Structure 1
């Protein structure tokens, strides 16, 4: 395990945040394969509920979409399909997700994606004063206010979280 570079990287996500004049903090940590939000919340010493995952999914026509979800929750794809008037929604293959977003899985950010994708955000994320979300590189989160995400990304709010 290597220690992360103490200087935050410049990524398409950080460029997007600056371009849209969003206030954000940078948080580097030692990335662990398949560690997910459990590792990042532990490393940053923040509740896993405040670490938001950027999940790339696709509908029945293989059109990609992004779901923003609390780190300690799963997405009910059945409920997401129902709330978005789709027949089916399923996780995207990692290589396909990378082609759509320009980011490696584990480093996917909703900011500065290669293609503009529809974004769905779990409504309860707005109840938090600050969230930690991927900054476009594995082992790199940015702290942002959820209402700024609402203002800039204009996600559709959904209630699809599973414990």
Structure 2
């Protein structure tokens, strides 16, 4: 039995007539583990979603979703600069769970809109024709065309990883 967010992601894609590949697999936590169970996709096609807490220039704190390629490391200095933030930190597991209605870290899909979170995607994610991501559960992944992801989520494209 999957987390209910898996159905929310599937329904979101279906409502936009988006074709997708669905993968049922053993629980995965890292991009490396996920790449091994997503047949036909490579690690660089993975789109990993991170939730961060950002303090803006005027001191207002907010949570954001950042989406980066599975084979890249998050560059906090670049992201902080790109977002014009005074401070930034990863959301805690408890915060992620609260913000996503119980989705575990490692299972968060790259659709901040499902959780009322602004979404920012690194352009390297979109350099792939297709992307693949955890669908709301560590045991479920979905692959779609990157242009379909843009159409459905309409994220802000922003450099958040170093090449």
What TM-score results when the alignment is normalised by the length of structure 2? 0.84
Shift in Å, 1:141: 0.7
Q: Which residue of 2 aligns with 1:22?
A: 18
Q: Aligned pair 1:48/2:43, yes or no?
A: yes
Q: Are the structure 2 counterparts of residues 47 and 10 from structure 1 closer, same or farther at C-alpha, using a change threshold of 3 Å?
A: closer
Contact 2:128-2:146 at 8 Å conserved across structures: yes
Deviations 1:60-87 (A, max 9, x none): 2441110111111111122112112211
SS at match of 1:75: coil
SS at match of 2:104: coil
What TM-score results when the alignment is normalised by the length of structure 1? 0.84
Q: Which stretches in structure 1 are left out of the alignment for 5+ residues?
A: none
* Distance in 2 of aligned mates of 1:126 and 1:112: 16
Match runs of 1:7-156 below 5 Å: 11-32=7-28, 35-45=29-39, 46-60=41-55, 61-102=60-101, 103-111=103-111, 115-156=115-156
Q: Are the structure 2 counterparts of residues 87 and 112 from structure 1 closer, same or farther at C-alpha, using a change threshold of 3 Å?
A: closer
Q: Which stretches in structure 2 are left out of the alignment for 5+ residues?
A: none
Aligned-CA RMSD value: 2.2
User: Number of residue pairs matched?
Assistant: 155
* Distance in 2 of aligned mates of 1:85 and 1:111: 22
User: After alignment, is 23-32 or 106-115 more displaced?
Assistant: 106-115
* Distance in 2 of aligned mates of 1:64 and 1:145: 27
Shift in Å, 1:122: 0.7
Q: Are the structure 2 counterparts of residues 156 and 57 from structure 1 closer, same or farther at C-alpha, using a change threshold of 3 Å?
A: same
* Distance in 1 of aligned mates of 2:134 and 2:116: 17
